[in-house]
A and B are shown apart, each in its own frame.
Chain A
Amino acid sequence: MKNAALECVQSWNADFVENNLKDCLEKLSDYETWQKVSLYSATHSHHYKEGQLVRIQGMIQDMHNPEYYVSKYTVCNKATGTKTVRSGKYKDVMRVEPGESARCAKDGKDARERQNLFCIPIPALNKWALDIHKQNVALPEIHAEFGQSQGVKRKEMDEDHNDEEMVCEDSFKEVKKTEVRIENVAPTSSASENQSPQNLDDIKNFSFPVKNVEGQPFYLKVYEYDQSTVMNSMVEVVGFLSADPAISYVEDDMEESGKKLPASLIPRLHVVCLKNVEHCNPLLPSFNFSSDAALAFANAQAAVCDLKIIFTPLLLGDKLAVDFLICNLLSKVFVRKDVTQLGHLSLNLHEVPKMTGYVEKFYSILEQLVTKSHYFPLTIEVLNSTPFVPKKDYTCDKLRSGLLQLSQGTFLVFDETKMTVGQLLDLGTKNVMALKSFLERQEVEYDFQFYATPFQTDLSIIIFSERKSLFECDARVPLESDPEAVKALEASFEAAVLYLRNDEVTTRIRRFLTAAQLANYEIPEIVQTRVQEDFVEMRQRDKNFTGDDLHIVLNLARLLTLSTGAQALTAEIWKQACAMEGARRARL
């Protein structure tokens, strides 16, 4: 009987999940069940009921203090004198019907801890990925199905657990009573403008590293928190929605005022299951990722060929630059040990053609291929006004986000051709320093006012500039332009756009890029010796060739290997990598 209830994911409620947590989690580990939980969509917020199980995807932007909730409380019906014990898990409020009084232990014996995370929609997610997500949003068919299934379930529950009957009934009632329209509530509270964010737009400006992101931020209430979910992790969450505007936070303490935003603005999600995900490419769902990825990875040759076709004319026929660009697209920090990070390859392409809007156009092609990317024009004004580094704001007890608080694997394209002469102000200088140290160490020091804490950050950076960039990148490639290609540049962009109309091509590339980033890699014993030999030889030829240079070549070799769809380095690719680095050095 219970099994039947388990099957019907949409009808799970808090008490049911609490009593059958193990079964439910097991059920959720199945992809189909997972998919059945309706994906939350901000634009259709009125379709969701209070206490409904929903699924979201997002990034942890801030972590608040854990809170203690009342795990159980006694409700006494004044009329009949009957006492019931109710659970407070997965709830924001104690449920007290008229004519009832609730009571919880004064000394906090029933207190249990839950973690409080602030989750925002994944920043810099590109439009195509968003579109796919939107297609996946299957709005819950509440009107007929929901009620019916609830009824069925009640019957079953009656037979199985008699004691739960009342709870079920109540929650059912409540669901009907408190249908919430999240959007409608928002404007009312935005009337009062304070320094702390009051409406959704403020929140977005405040907490989102990149502006103009659509989507709904959430407070996650995590009951079984293991330390693995950290700042900036991407998560997929299934939990109970709680957006009841009745949960107002009228607290008199200095702590509470202005800190918590009404649930109608930022709904709470009581987490049943939280998964950390390594990527958010909707074309490669995290379930049975390995087989899908292998498939995508097998298409490497075709995908890389497509990439070359697209980018060679755009980079003025410079094949070397295209090779480096592809390597950059596959790069990801894969080892962090003490102070060494390996795998990143930030790229500075300079001598770009003097065509207005070249970088923007280039970016518009790029953003159709990668899952997450952001274009940032480096001008004096923007540098002086946009914070790069997240900073804790103690007046509202929130972390003010900065550009560099992007989730792992985001592409950040800086357009330095926009730079003009001017004076950097305080913020601008800090930004420049932050970007510099980030390029050096793949780490951003978040500003907690009294001290700075380093956070490991993994972003791929491409800087376009007219001359050598202000910022030291791992690889600097001056473009060698083919005059023919320069003339045909306009046409090339149009051609690239046309080329990408082909869904097959884009899908192939998108899948491949994600799969390759996450692929494993090794260097066979025999190639290792070869590398050693070569290094010794290189050293003898050029005394200035140091260990750091070897790192670059080794990294290139790794990325080239992945770009061919292989996972082990071969002697040829090693040679190719050496040649590539050699050619690049020759240009400097």
Chain B
Amino acid sequence: MSSPAPSRTPSKRTTRSQTNTPSRDEASEKGTPAKRRATPQKSPATTPLRVGARGRNARPGAMGTIAESSELGTPAGGSQENNAMTSPLAIGAEHMGLSEIDLSSPLNYGTPSSLGSLRTPRTGIQDTPVRVRADIGSERTLRRIVLPSDAPAPGDESSQTGSQTGVKEVIWGTDVDVGKCKQRFRRFIENFVDPDMEPDEANMATTNVNEPLYMQKLKEVLALEDPYVNVNCEHLKTFCPELFAQLVRYPQEVLPFLDMAINELFFEKHPAAVLEHQIQVRPFNSEVTTSMRNLNPEDIDQLITLCGMVIRTSDIIPEMREAFFKCIVCGSTTEVVVEKGRIAEPTLCGNCNTNHCFTLVHNRSQFCDKQLVKLQESPDDMPAAQTPQTVLLYCCNDLVDKVQPGDRVTVTGIYRAIPSVLNPRMRNVRSVYRTHIDVVHFRKSSTKRLYENEEGNNLHFSEERIGQLKELSEKDDIYERMAHALAPNIYENEDIKKGILLQLFGGTKKIFNSQGRSNFRAEIHILLCGDPGTSKSQLLQYVYHLVPRAQFTSGKGSSAVGLSAYVTRDPETRQLVLQTGALVLADNGICCIDEFDKMNDSTRSMLHEVMEQQTLSITKAGIICQLNARTSVLAAANPVESQWSKNKTIIDNINLPHTLLSRFDLIFLLLDPQDELYDRRLAKHLVGMYQSTPEDDEQDYINMLLMRDYIAYAREFIKPKITEEASNRLVEMYVTMRQTGMSRGQISAYPRQLESLVRLAEAHAKMRFSQTVELIDAEEAWRLHREALKQSATDPLSGRIDVSILTTGISSAGRKHREKLMKELKKMIENQSKGTTLNFKKCLNDMREKADLMVTNEMLEDALSSLQNEGVVNLISRSSFRIC
């Protein structure tokens, strides 16, 4: 229809006074486009416009007129005067061959239907049709202002011609320099290298980390003929913060220029490429990742990124993009671009000068697909005691049907607010804006989980928060602090809390796919068992509330089906659908199972696979599949007889198959200590809770929220590797474990125990925010492992720690050494009066001096615990015991 000259925007002005219109507010004072349209005659802008037009008038008849009509509200077909107008740039363009290409693009955006006539064989870019970007609402002709600049800006040293003509273009109402903006983006595409690329961005196996990322993406575009380039705003921000800021602030205006730049670049490189339509840039991961609740009127028209869950999608709606009008008098036709959902119906026919003679021709108008999607806050973002909020999304063209209800997605788009239609016939108009988001980019987080290893890339913390977390991690006693803060209302049980804490962090994920071995699991499983009323359930409840993706079930009420997955027929579609159960739902989270002992055998047997392979196989009703269930299991069980019997082995007490027991990394006993001092302290603790104003030592109290962030951060960003030193120590420990067993002619430790140790050490390193597993981590893992074993694998006959109880269910008796030690101990105790409290360390030193035995810490502990069974001493804590 018209030449690619950029000059058709009538509002283009050449004015010196306009050189800086930086803020939006300022611009709006001078008259936003909306305002100007209503009062075109009175606008002061008309004067410079005419001056500019007259002064440079050179290419008559080269103009399209539709854009003008939509701009100024004048009849389509327009006045002759408008036709005669040309901007200075167009002249400049004629002198410089290249610039025609650059400048053509924005027009294409304005009137996509005019493409046909535009095609010239010279470059690929013009062979490729432009597709209207419905997503950013760019159907509006871009308004740019041409500003003469005194000298080329210093930054523009590249070969771009636009800015060297002595004028510079800025987008209407902003201070965004078009040429600069395009150049910057071009440089970004050509040069940006991302060393630590996120896995889902590298969708081609060939992606080379050391080469410019987006150049490779352009190659992908060429190969796949999929003309979309997703641009991570985070990259753009590190490369060029200014361009990033402009993009976020004026997405609707800036995006078309980015498209232009990338198309130029693409067709320069691959002139012969054939694409369905021109490449479109899709930014995502914009900085303003807010929760829905934080959206406010200031975000209107900005590029925002939101996370949420899709709850509804509408049918596909054909939306008119371009209306086709025909004059009923003379038959001349005109096309009007739909602007913000409205069509400015042309009133005056430019051909025959008749008023109100146009009719709309539906089947020649252009439509695009549109879908309304409702996005709801995900439960993690919701403040307590409030209902989730929703936001409406409009997605267009190929984004239609990209998401399904139930998907968790991260959406990047432009936030819009549209006032209610002002109907002159209605006296009252609702004074409410309707808001929605024009989607530019979807990023699913849920589907990815099914095949990718990492999840939750949408994790974002503010700098401030990260600083806070890091500061916290540097505290010496962070381990104790965290353990203390875990379920602070549950009294003592420090080691159990520490175990659960490490479980929350989990080990490092390791993949050995290439070696034919499936993943080593990183999840730590813990079994708590013990007397009723020892707040096992409360611990479980606490963990359930702390971890975002946690499931809570009771062994009593759950079936194998409920835990794993089941197949049902969807009532609407009559299709078989797979409904996932608690274990699958807790993928990458924790599954808390209360009353583990009351679970029936078939249910429990299903846990074998889940707990070691971390997968779940389903074979039923024509569905055969393997689901990921990378969940940590935190189980609680009661002893067979409601009270723990000290004369029975753990297996007799819990009555669980040892195949299953050996899969738990840590098995803790929560036994009622039946100790006066303990009772007293417990009572004090409980009484304290009944004060109307419970004293809160806020200083060193880590609240649930901070804890959650801390864990999330560590899980996401800390991937500790084992150091040489630590690995030696771990090996040493394992060998010791094996040897103690071997000496008695029995294998007491299996590789599983070594794996447990590694996991625990890694988790401890994670907890310290350390990228390496060091000696202290290994030591703590060893200590905790022993601590747990000491309680759970104590042979009631010998009192000796014996892993074989767990692994084989049989205990071996080799107690010579210990009997000697016990004799010595008894001797020493006889010398002391009843009720004396002895220090453990001191006792250890004494023993070492007295007995000509090698007495280790552990041995003494073992001896003491068996003495406790005999009722001679009473262990108060790890560091002291009392003589009865």
**Binding between chains A and B:** yes
A: residues with CB less than 8 A from B are 62-63, 65-70, 73, 88, 91-98, 101-109, 111-113, 227, 230-232, 244, 246-247, 249, 251, 253-256, 334-335, 337-340, 342, 392, 394, 397, 399, 441, 446, 448-451, 453, 455-456, 520-523, 528, 531-533, 535-536, 539-540, 543, 546-551, 554-555, 558
Question: Given A254-B314, A528-B687: A448 and B429 within 8 A (CB)?
Answer: no
A-B contact pairs, 20 of them (CB 8 A): A65-B391, A92-B430, A93-B431, A96-B429, A102-B422, A102-B429, A103-B422, A105-B32, A108-B300, A230-B385, A231-B386, A253-B372, A339-B489, A441-B541, A448-B376, A451-B378, A453-B387, A523-B691, A532-B680, A554-B687
B679 adjacent to A546 (CB under 8 Å):
no
Which of B391, B422, B434 is in CB contact (< 8 Å) with A253?
A: B434
- Least CB distance from B143 to A in Å reads 14
A73 to B689, CA, bound (A): 55
B297 adjacent to A68 (CB under 8 Å):
yes
Instruction: Point out the residues of chain B lying under 8 angstroms from A394, CB to CB.
Output: 311-312, 374
Beyond the given A68-B417, A68-B432, A93-B431, could you list 6 further A-B residue pairs with CB under 8 A, ordered by the A residue number? A92-B430, A105-B28, A106-B32, A111-B300, A531-B683, A547-B682
A334 adjacent to B433 (CB under 8 Å):
no
Question: Given A104-B419, A255-B374: A528 and B684 within 8 A (CB)?
Answer: yes
Question: Given A68-B432, A394-B312, A449-B311: A232 and B385 within 8 A (CB)?
Answer: yes
A67 to B296, CA, bound (A): 10
Instruction: Point out the residues of chain B lying under 8 angstroms from A546, CB to CB.
Output: 532-534, 672
Instruction: Point out the residues of chain A lying under 8 angstroms from B376, CB to CB.
Output: 448, 450
A68 adjacent to B435 (CB under 8 Å):
yes
B487 adjacent to chain A (CB < 8 Å): yes
Question: Given A109-B28, A339-B487, A339-B538: A69 and B431 within 8 A (CB)?
Answer: yes
User: What is the chain A residue whose CB lies nearest that of B382?
Assistant: A453
Which of B386, B432, B684 is in CB contact (< 8 Å) with A63?
A: B386
A232 to B384, CA, bound (A): 12
B690 adjacent to chain A (CB < 8 Å): yes
User: What is the chain B residue whose CB lies nearest that of A455?
Assistant: B385
Instruction: Point out the residues of chain B lying under 8 angstroms from A227, CB to CB.
Output: 383, 386
Instruction: Point out the residues of chain A lying under 8 angstroms from B340, CB to CB.
Output: 106
B694 adjacent to chain A (CB < 8 Å): yes
A547 to B541, CA, bound (A): 17
Instruction: Point out the residues of chain A lying under 8 angstroms from B689, CB to CB.
Output: 335, 337, 340, 342
Listed residue (A340, A455, A520, A558) with the most chain B CB atoms within 10 angstroms of its CB: A340
B431 adjacent to A73 (CB under 8 Å):
yes
A62 to B388, CA, bound (A): 10
Instruction: Point out the residues of chain A lying under 8 angstroms from B488, CB to CB.
Output: 337-338
B491 adjacent to A532 (CB under 8 Å):
no
A338 adjacent to B385 (CB under 8 Å):
no
Interface string of B667-687 (1 = CB under 8 A from A): 000001010100110111011
B432 adjacent to A536 (CB under 8 Å):
no
A1 to B625, CA, bound (A): 79
B351 adjacent to chain A (CB < 8 Å): no
Which of A93, A339, A523, A547 is in CB contact (< 8 Å) with B430?
A: A93
- Number of B interface residues, CB 8 Å? 78
Q: Which 6 A-B pairs have the closest CB atoms?
A: A546-B533, A108-B417, A230-B385, A535-B683, A106-B34, A93-B428
A450 adjacent to B311 (CB under 8 Å):
yes
B422 adjacent to A334 (CB under 8 Å):
no
B816 adjacent to chain A (CB < 8 Å): no
A95 to B426, CA, bound (A): 10
B389 adjacent to chain A (CB < 8 Å): yes
B406 adjacent to chain A (CB < 8 Å): yes
- Least CB distance from B440 to A in Å reads 18
B545 adjacent to A338 (CB under 8 Å):
yes
Instruction: Point out the residues of chain B lying under 8 angstroms from A535, CB to CB.
Output: 679-680, 682-683
B366 adjacent to chain A (CB < 8 Å): no
A255 to B687, CA, bound (A): 52
Instruction: Point out the residues of chain B lying under 8 angstroms from A339, CB to CB.
Output: 487, 489, 538, 541-542, 545
Question: Given A106-B32, A338-B487: A543 and B674 within 8 A (CB)?
Answer: yes
A532 adjacent to B433 (CB under 8 Å):
no
A446 to B383, CA, bound (A): 14
B433 adjacent to A70 (CB under 8 Å):
yes
Instruction: Point out the residues of chain B lying under 8 angstroms from A543, CB to CB.
Output: 643, 672, 674
8 Å CB contacts to A: which residues of B681-703? 682-684, 686-694
B189 adjacent to chain A (CB < 8 Å): no
B429 adjacent to A108 (CB under 8 Å):
no
B309 adjacent to chain A (CB < 8 Å): yes
8 Å CB contacts to A: which residues of B289-335? 296-297, 300-301, 309, 311-312, 314
Question: Given A93-B428, A108-B301: A536 and B679 within 8 A (CB)?
Answer: yes
- Least CB distance from A122 to B in Å reads 17
A62 to B418, CA, bound (A): 25
A105 to B24, CA, bound (A): 13
- Least CB distance from B28 to A in Å reads 6
B690 adjacent to A113 (CB under 8 Å):
no
Listed residue (A94, A232, A522) with the most chain B CB atoms within 10 angstroms of its CB: A94
A185 to B491, CA, bound (A): 61
User: What is the chain B residue whose CB lies nearest that of A231?
Assistant: B385
B430 adjacent to A106 (CB under 8 Å):
no
Interface string of B262-303 (1 = CB under 8 A from A): 000000000000000000000000000000000011001100
A451 adjacent to B379 (CB under 8 Å):
yes
Instruction: Point out the residues of chain B lying under 8 angstroms from A101, CB to CB.
Output: 422, 424
A337 to B390, CA, bound (A): 29
Instruction: Point out the residues of chain A lying under 8 angstroms from B643, CB to CB.
Output: 543
A106 to B435, CA, bound (A): 12
User: What is the chain A residue whose CB lies nearest that of B696?
Assistant: A337
B487 adjacent to A532 (CB under 8 Å):
no
Instruction: Point out the residues of chain A lying under 8 angstroms from B387, CB to CB.
Output: 62-63, 231, 392, 399, 446, 448, 453
8 Å CB contacts to A: which residues of B504-535? 532-535
A255 adjacent to B392 (CB under 8 Å):
yes
B472 adjacent to chain A (CB < 8 Å): no
User: What is the chain A residue whose CB lies nearest that of B681?
Assistant: A532
Interface string of B15-57 (1 = CB under 8 A from A): 0000000000100100010100010000000000000000000
B704 adjacent to chain A (CB < 8 Å): yes
B620 adjacent to chain A (CB < 8 Å): no
Instruction: Point out the residues of chain A lying under 8 angstroms from B674, CB to CB.
Output: 539, 543
B475 adjacent to chain A (CB < 8 Å): no
Question: Given A94-B431, A98-B427: A107 and B300 within 8 A (CB)?
Answer: yes
- Least CB distance from B562 to A in Å reads 13
A338 adjacent to B427 (CB under 8 Å):
no
- Least CB distance from A248 to B in Å reads 9
- Least CB distance from A38 to B in Å reads 25
Question: Given A102-B422, A338-B542, A539-B674: A94 and B428 within 8 A (CB)?
Answer: yes
- Least CB distance from B532 to A in Å reads 7
- Least CB distance from B304 to A in Å reads 14
A108 adjacent to B433 (CB under 8 Å):
yes
User: What is the chain A residue whose CB lies nearest that of B703?
Assistant: A338
Instruction: Point out the residues of chain B lying under 8 angstroms from A67, CB to CB.
Output: 432-433, 435
B384 adjacent to A456 (CB under 8 Å):
yes
- Least CB distance from B36 to A in Å reads 11
User: What is the chain A residue whose CB lies nearest that of B416?
Assistant: A108
User: What is the chain B residue whose CB lies nearest that of A249?
Assistant: B430
Interface string of B621-655 (1 = CB under 8 A from A): 00000000000000000000001000000000000
- Least CB distance from A49 to B in Å reads 16
User: What is the chain B residue whose CB lies nearest that of A244?
Assistant: B428
Instruction: Point out the residues of chain B lying under 8 angstroms from A103, CB to CB.
Output: 38, 422
B384 adjacent to A111 (CB under 8 Å):
no
Which of B379, B433, B679, B686 is in CB contact (< 8 Å) with A551?
A: B686
A92 to B429, CA, bound (A): 8
User: What is the chain B residue whose CB lies nearest that of A227?
Assistant: B383
- Least CB distance from B431 to A in Å reads 4
Instruction: Point out the residues of chain B lying under 8 angstroms from A113, CB to CB.
Output: 296-297
A88 adjacent to B686 (CB under 8 Å):
no
Which of B384, B429, B491 is in CB contact (< 8 Å) with A547?
A: B491
